[in-house]
């Protein structure tokens, strides 16, 4: 639980930093925002629709424990993100520096979850599954999916925001590619 709580806390802080800078997130959350902007659907409904297939995949292929820990992680992230404006505020932050810091915070967050057999849902589920089954590094798999999401974001966001968001996604996923390997510690 400590690893999952730490991951959710660092994730909420990374998302708060991205939000403060007006940057986008990638993965399923980023795709849900794009769907919401493009269709007018409520963001929470969009998030549910985008994540549903990944959660089914987790239940079928990753097992009950992984799926439950992922649901707890997503719930904690949501709760801590809602508390964040009451606990932390930011001043001026250079966008490039903030993008790197947010990427590292989110990288540490996702690494904590991956090492404890959990995720924030969405692309993380697919990335772990492909690393376990095919040996593909989760960070590279997630980066490929994030590039697609951020390319789609160009339809709803300005190029500068997408460029800084890309920096954040690259830092996050390269951090994962280097640090999350199957031959290193994984809690059960």
Is the separation of the CB atoms in 168 and 129 below 8 Å?
no
Is the pLDDT score of 188 beyond 60? no
Q: Is residue 112 part of a domain?
A: yes
Q: pLDDT at position 107, please?
A: 93
Average pLDDT, the chain: 87
Q: pLDDT at position 30, please?
A: 78
Q: Exposed e or buried b for every residue in 33-51, given b needs 16+ CB within 10 A?
A: bbbbeeeeeeeeebbeebb
First-to-final CA distance of the chain: 12
Q: Is residue 29 part of a domain?
A: yes
Q: Is residue 185 part of a domain?
A: no
Count: domains in the chain: 1
Model confidence at 161, pLDDT cuts 50, 70, 90, reads very high
Model confidence at 44, pLDDT cuts 50, 70, 90, reads low
Q: Is residue 54 part of a domain?
A: yes
Tell me how long the chain is: 188
Distance between CA 101 and CA 76 in Å, rounded? 21
Q: Is residue 186 part of a domain?
A: no
Q: pLDDT at position 185, please?
A: 56
Q: Is residue 184 part of a domain?
A: no
Is the pLDDT score of 56 beyond 60? yes
Is the pLDDT score of 125 beyond 70? yes
Q: pLDDT at position 101, please?
A: 97
Q: Is residue 188 part of a domain?
A: no
The whole domain housing 56 covers: 2-179
Is the pLDDT score of 104 beyond 60? yes
Is the pLDDT score of 67 beyond 90? yes
Model confidence at 111, pLDDT cuts 50, 70, 90, reads very high
Q: pLDDT at position 49, please?
A: 83
Q: pLDDT at position 66, please?
A: 92
Q: Exposed e or buried b for every residue in 122-144, given b needs 16+ CB within 10 A?
A: bbbbbbbbbbeeeeebbbbbbbe
Q: Is residue 187 part of a domain?
A: no
Across residues 173-179, what is the average pLDDT? 90
Q: pLDDT at position 172, please?
A: 92
């Amino acid at each position: 639980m400590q690893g999952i709580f730490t991951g959710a806390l660092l994730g909420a802080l990374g998302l708060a930093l991205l939000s403060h800078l007006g940057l986008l997130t990638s993965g399923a959350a980023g795709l849900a925002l794009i769907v919401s902007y493009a269709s007018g659907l409520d963001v929470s409904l969009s998030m549910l629709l985008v994540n549903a297939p990944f959660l089914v995949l987790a239940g079928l292929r990753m097992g009950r424990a992984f799926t439950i820990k992922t649901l707890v992680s997503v719930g904690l992230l949501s709760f801590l993100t809602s508390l964040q404006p009451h606990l932390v505020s930011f001043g001026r932050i250079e966008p490039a520096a903030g993008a790197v810091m947010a990427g590292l915070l989110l990288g540490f967050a996702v690494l904590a979850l991956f090492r404890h057999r959990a995720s924030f849902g969405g692309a993380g589920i697919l990335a772990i599954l492909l690393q376990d089954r095919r040996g593909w590094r989760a960070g590279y798999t997630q980066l490929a999916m994030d590039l697609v999401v951020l390319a789609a974001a160009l339809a709803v966001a300005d190029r500068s925001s997408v460029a800084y968001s890309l920096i954040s996604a690259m830092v996050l996923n390269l951090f994962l590619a280097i640090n999350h390997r199957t031959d290193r510690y994984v809690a059960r």
